[in-house]
Amino acid sequence: MRSRWLPTMPLHVANWLAEPDVRALDRGDRADLIDALCQSWIKGCAVQVPAAIAVVYAVLWPEMAATQAEHVDGYARRQAQTAAARAARYSVTESVTESVTEPSTESVTEGSPSPSPSPTPTLEQEQVLLINAEPLTASAGAKRKAKATAEEGASTDSFDAFWAEWPKRVEKQAALVCWKKIRLDQVPAVMLGLQRWKESGQWDEVQFCPNPDKWLRRRKWEDEPPPRATMTRGGKPPLTEEERQAIYDLFQA
């Protein structure tokens, strides 16, 4: 059998021993007083006690009874508040559930024709719709695939072609790293820019050709090389082939 709820009995040692009447009792009478107070606390009313502790009991029990009444009232008030809050939550949840599950009904004016349902397409119509939609889907997929392919990095095979055309083949691994950062759709522009720079005559002497990684990192294929006529070295026009051959023959003599 489950017992009813009771608040904690406010019996503190310090307060207990501070009472002069309690201190005047012997050990056995104190035990009888504690037992009588506990029984009164559980039953909620005064009990019969021996004459030796009757005076002290008559002073202490009314105080403890008032404390118990306050605790019980507070507990009942909290229980009522909890029940009201639970009922409010249940009513809100039930109203929301009913609003969601309740089928929507449209008011139909008396005498007005009811709306006719939309016709269901036949099998032939569905096939025509699918046939017309397939080219659009395929076209969109092809465009996405082409865009993704164009945004991919340049391949090693295209780098081999670039490396074969480069006049000064140094720092190959560094050039390969820079090459892979180039988009695949930029490879034709890079190769055309390389041909322009080779045909400009600025790299006729290999020592004046930059390293390939530096040329790629600076995107020099987008620049136009200077014309041959304006290329000077130290403010003088470049040597012709005949002048170069004469200097070579002079040092060979």
The pTM score is 0.34
Mean pLDDT of 173-177: 88
Tell me: the pLDDT tens digits for 60-99? 888 888 888 888 888 888 888 888 888 887 776 666 666 5
Neighbour tally for 143: CB within 10 Å: 10
Q: Give 40 or 152, the one with higher predicted confidence.
A: 40
DSSP, res 223: S
Among 164, 171, 174, 172, which Cα is nearest to 194's?
Answer: 164
Rg, the chain, Cα only: 52
Give the per-residue SS3 of 173-215: HHHHHHHHCCEHHHHHHHHHHHHHHHHCCCCCCHHHCCCHHHH
Residue 164: the pLDDT is: 86
Tell me: the pLDDT tens digits for 111-140? 555 555 556 656 666 665 555 555 545 555
Residue 17: the pLDDT is: 67
DSSP, res 248: H
Rounded mean pLDDT of the chain?
74
What CA dihedral angle connects 119, 121, 125 and 130, to 10 degrees? 130
Mean pLDDT of 15-27: 77
